Structure 1
Amino acid sequence: MSEVIVVGAGPAGLLLAGDLAEAGIAVTVLERRDGRMSNLSRAFAVHARTLEQLDARGLADRLVSTGTPLRSLRLFEHVEIDLGTLPSRFPYLLVTPQYNVEQLLLERALRAGAEIIHNAEVVGLSQDATGVTVATGVTVATADDTYRAAYVVGADGLHSAVRRLIGQPFPGKSVLKSIMLADVKVAEPPEEVLTANGVGDAFAFIAPFGDGYYRVFAWDRDHVVPDDEPVALEEVRDVTRRALGTDFGMYEARWMSRFHSDERQAPGYRVGRVFLAGDAAHVHSPAGGQGMNTGLQDAANLAWKLASVLHGAPDALLDTYQAERHPVGRSVLRSSGALVRAAVIGSTVGRALRGFAAGRALSVPRIRTKITGQLSGIGYTYPAPDGAHELVGTRARDIPLAGGGRLYEALRERRFVLVGAADVPDRLVKVVAPATAGGPLMLIRPDGYVGWAGADATGLRQALLTLVGDVHHQAAQ
């Protein structure tokens, strides 16, 4: 029997499965699709904090080699967000298709021993005091197979079966309807890696797909039709010309479709032994490219907590997943929603005010730091217990270590890392020394956030019991 079942083999589900498997947890992934990797995904942006998380798993450099770094984002014609000053090893946004992320995470999950079962659509779920039973098939009455685990994570997207089966609502609304997507070749490639703008009743976005094609998003305020309405290449050209001033000589569309953009969030990310992550928990407008990134951060946060509890940490640790990640999802809903609403302002006066307001805001250092921190993901912190050190809940900087190496390289063992000298059990905790002496002891969580800081051995011991699990067992070895 698996200890954890993950439903959904998208980015969030695969990162979660790989983390659990590397932590020694038996994990099974149930995926309703077959094993073919789709190139129809909408995500193209990998932000700095996500690259840091992938760096802590030894995957970032490989992913960077597949895409194009973008050190500034141009919004609303002349307004730019400078990412080059981010305090990160990755001071940029990486433009690369989602399937490149999925491929790396899939290889890692399989290498670590995760079991992935395709053509397994979840149709039933029940939980009791000791575990969760999941049924797959066409209907519960004709279920092909049942699976049981201590915990289940629904990472199965916007139309999550897991969310429905645990009775979680998904309140929200559609922000934009009838957005056209097209993969096209262009005769005149854009000067910018990523080009987007909204003018009057039209909005368009274009970015390289990585294989000679370009992905185009185009929206026409005056032509809202059902998602199943066919798309003509001339319609995409027309909207793009109106929004960007040119259609770049588009030709040879290999795929075109429509979709609608929702803003929704489940009120509860945990119901008993079942959790929601990624698009199953929250969906956002595509503005800012934060959807996939937020889901990957969910997975990084939840995986080590499940592993710790299965290794003996208190069950209450799992409640911190909701406390830490739900506010982040809500913040992304607000920021991405504000961006998309600003992008589609129709009036000339409104667009002028939009550019003026954005330019003034970005000229204030404190506001600029907050905006870039939220967009890149590196600016989010988690709530800390009363009386905790000021570093607790903050993102750990990738500091150099004595003897060579970096903190995020030390995190690749998927253990907690204690920065500073201390006598602690070492099966789940790796002790390292900073290159520069001074500062408190810091217990770094596997997701790269400070779990505890201080100089008190008793406090460290309590943190190990609360966060790591299996401490008594380690001490006895």
Structure 2
Amino acid sequence: MIDVLIAGAGPVGSTLAADLVRRGLDVRLIDKAPRAFEGSRAKGIQPRTQELFEDLGVLDEALAEGGPYPLMGVHLGPITVPWRMQRKHRPTAAVPYPDILLLPQSRTDAVLHRLLQRLGQHIEFGTTLEGFVQDEDGVTTTLASGEQVRSRFLVGADGGGSAVRKAAGIRFAGETDQTDRTLLVDAVIDGLSRDRWHVWPGLGGMYVGACPLPHSELFQLMIRLRPDETPDVAEAALAARFQARTGLRLRDVAWTSVFRPNVRIVERYRVGRVFVAGDAAHVHTPAGAQGLNTGVQDAYNLGWKLGQVLAGAPDALLDSYELERRPIAAHVLGRSSELYAGIDKNRLASMKRGDEERQLELSYFGGPLAPAAVPATRTLRVGDRAPDSPYDGPGARRLFEAFRGPHFTLLAFGPEAAEILPQLTWPAGGAALHRIEIGSSSAAADTYGITGDALVLIRPDGYIGAIVTADWESSFADAILTLGAVACQS
């Protein structure tokens, strides 16, 4: 009996595996593909996902492998119109990584796979899930090889065609427009400047785009196909097509794929001991670079909850995964569809990206772990993202450094909160609690909107789990009961 079997070793499954392994759990990670993904596909890493990568210890690698998004260059005959898709932001104490990172998906996978290797976690490529049965104690999964794997939980992070979702009988509500397809190509383009994301608009949204991929000669090409078209993906045919449209030479094709913009979401994220995450749970249009990021955040939400339940927390904690993540996925689905619809009408405004796409303002406030009728600060509520801040403490210069790891963090602002801090009881099992005393006049107090004595409990996924301003011991006990931590025993 292992703890968790994960199907799918893309960014979502790899993130979940890394989070579970650092919690000391016994995990198997399988993928039906013979090797790691080799194309650029989903290439935008939003600020909130960069914060997650810092928590996992791989942000520096991701930043080194990626680069900033360039200005767009919209080609209108002989004229090229510069267009900024998203404004540049200055890093602040609260938001250290304010801008989207251009990182081809194959490199995102590689960064996470190297992390798994350092953690001692093997990825079983070429391993197909055939089906499973579950009972009250676990899940028995049958692989194509005939092997049966017994696990406490099974997670399907195996993409839009998820075998786990289908075997679980989970309905995938939504639509797929079979006539709406885009050809994606990674290739070299001679004579095209690399300081622009080039776009050649066409009637009815029949655009051609070319985005330079960092630290390489390659561009990612996006060619909108006609409804009845079967594209010829041979290099000579692609080169002829691209030259006819742009006058430029294409060569050295490294990867091709035909993308259909599904718009779907599951009715349930959980069936018993089986969960779905990422594209297995929701698929989006490519507009706004939301799909991969939303999926990785699914994994970040689910990981600590699986760890707590495996340590003895109530099973009901796992129900909060769907209750927190599904509304966010539904909202993101609507937003990406809205942006995508503007492409058909050649609206430059549809290429604009704002704060919403950065995923920094997403909140679980009002959900099962963040009830509305609890204290708030001047700037933050329970369920909101916990911001970064300078922090002059042992072994850390910033709060994000103190948060890094699979633990909860309890911040004490003011002398009264600091006095009670060491006296508060925390369960012996499950994730540990790191206690940090912070002065009431510090930069962190200002960032967190603290005007008096307060305790702020940070969940392992970087969201505020509780704000306590009075009745310290009883209020804190109520908070950890809400978070499912109180029943963990060593």
Same fold? TM cut 0.5: yes
Return closer, same or farther for 1:308/1:396 CA change in 2, 3 Å cut-off: same
Structure-2 change in CA distance of 1:448 and 1:80 (3 Å): same
Residue in 1 that maps onto 2:224: 219
The separation in 1 between residues aligned to 2:115 and 2:435, in whole angstroms, is 25
The corresponding residue for 2:455 is 441
Aligned to 1:159: 161
Match of 2:97 in 1: 90
Q: CA deviation at 1:54?
A: 0.5
Tell me: CA distance 1:274–1:257, structure 2 relative to 1, closer, same or farther (3 Å). closer
Q: CA deviation at 1:285?
A: 1.0
* Equivalent of residue 460 in structure 1, options 476, 480, 483: 476
* Residue 137 of structure 2 is aligned to residue 130 of structure 1: yes
Q: Match of 2:397?
A: 405
Q: How many residues align?
A: 445
| Stretch deviating more after TM superposition (463-472 or 332-341) | 463-472
The match for 2:415 is none
Q: Structure 1 residue 118 and structure 2 residue 125: aligned?
A: yes
- Structure 1 position 208, deviation (Å): 2.5
> 17-26 or 101-110, which moves further after superposition?
101-110
Q: Which residue of 2 aligns with 1:365?
A: none
% identity of equivalent residues: 32
Pairwise CA RMSD: 2.7
Q: How far did 1:241 drift?
A: 7.2
1:418 matched to 2:384? The reply is no
Structure 1 residue aligned with 2:77: none
Contact 2:38 2:255 in 1 (8 A): no
Instruction: Give the structure 1 partner of residue 78 of structure 2.
Output: none
Structure 1 residue aligned with 2:52? 53
2:357 is the counterpart of 1:375: yes
The CA distance in 2 between the partners of 1:278 and 1:12, in whole Å, is 6
CA distance in 2, matches of 1:150, 1:66: 36
Asked if the contact 2:12/2:299 (under 8 Å) is kept, the reply is: yes
Aligned mate of 1:173, from 167, 175, 192: 175
Distance in 1 (alpha carbons) for counterparts of 2:275 and 2:401? 29
Alignment of 1:3-152 (within 5 A): 3-34=3-34, 36-70=35-69, 78=83, 80-84=85-89, 88-137=95-144, 144-152=146-154
Q: Give the structure-1-normalised TM-score.
A: 0.85
264-273 vs 379-388, which moves further: 379-388
How far apart, CA to CA, are the structure 2 residues paired with 1:74 and 1:450? 41
Contact 1:197 1:343 in 2 (8 A): no
Q: Per-residue CA shift, 1:320-360, capped at 9, x if unaligned? A: 11111111111121111111110122xxxxx4xx45x769x
What's the secondary structure of 1:29's corresponding residue?
strand
How do 1:298-377 and structure 2 match up within 5 A?
Answer: 298-345=298-345, 351=346, 354-355=347-348, 372-377=354-359
Measure how far apart 1:30 and its partner are: 1.9
| 8 A contact 1:133–1:149 mirrored in 2 | yes
Distance 1:464 1:73, change over 3 A: farther
User: Is contact 1:16–1:300 with CA below 8 Å preserved after alignment?
Assistant: yes
Tell which deviates more after alignment, 307-316 or 195-204.
195-204
Select between 256-265 and 461-470 the one with higher mean Cα deviation. Answer: 461-470
| Change in 2 beyond 3 A, CA 1:255/1:312 | closer
Distance of 1:283 and 1:197 partners within structure 2: 26
Q: Is the 8 A contact 1:136 1:145 kept in 2?
A: yes
1:258 equivalenced with 2:258 (yes/no): yes
Q: After alignment, is 330-339 or 431-440 more displaced?
A: 431-440
What's the secondary structure of 1:207's corresponding residue?
strand
Residue of structure 1 in register with 2:193 after alignment = 190
1:200 is aligned to 203
Unmatched runs of 5 consecutive residues or more in structure 2: 75-80, 413-417
CA spacing shift, 1:66–1:232, aligned 2, 3 Å? closer
Deviates more, 1:246-255 or 1:123-132: 246-255
Secondary structure of 2:224's aligned partner: strand
* Range 377-386 or range 265-274, more displaced: 377-386
1:261 CA drift (Å): 2.1
Amino acid at match of 2:375: H
Aligned partner of residue 216 in structure 2, secondary structure: coil
Tell me if the contact between 1:72 and 1:92 (Cα under 8 Å) persists in the aligned partners: no
Q: For residues 266 and 410 of structure 2, what CA distance do their matches in structure 1 show?
A: 35
In structure 2, what residue type is equivalent to 1:395?
R
Residue 460 of structure 1: CA displacement?
A: 1.4
Measured after TM superposition, the shift of residue 58 of structure 1 is: 1.4
Of the structure 1 ranges 67-76 and 182-191, higher mean CA displacement relative to structure 2 is found in 67-76
Aligned counterparts of 1:5 and 1:463: Cα–Cα separation in 2: 31
Distance (whole Å) between structure 1 residues aligned to residue 146 and residue 40 of structure 2:
29
AA partner of residue 212 (structure 2): P
Q: Note the C-alpha offset of 1:234.
A: 5.2
Counterpart Cα distance in 2 of 1:197 and 1:230: 20
SS of the residue 1:296 aligns to = helix
Q: CA deviation at 1:190?
A: 3.2
The answer to whether structure 1 residue 392 and structure 2 residue 353 are counterparts is no
265-274 vs 74-83, greater mean Cα deviation:
74-83
Change (3 A) 1:381 1:107: same
Following superposition, the deviation at residue 49 of structure 1 comes to: 0.6
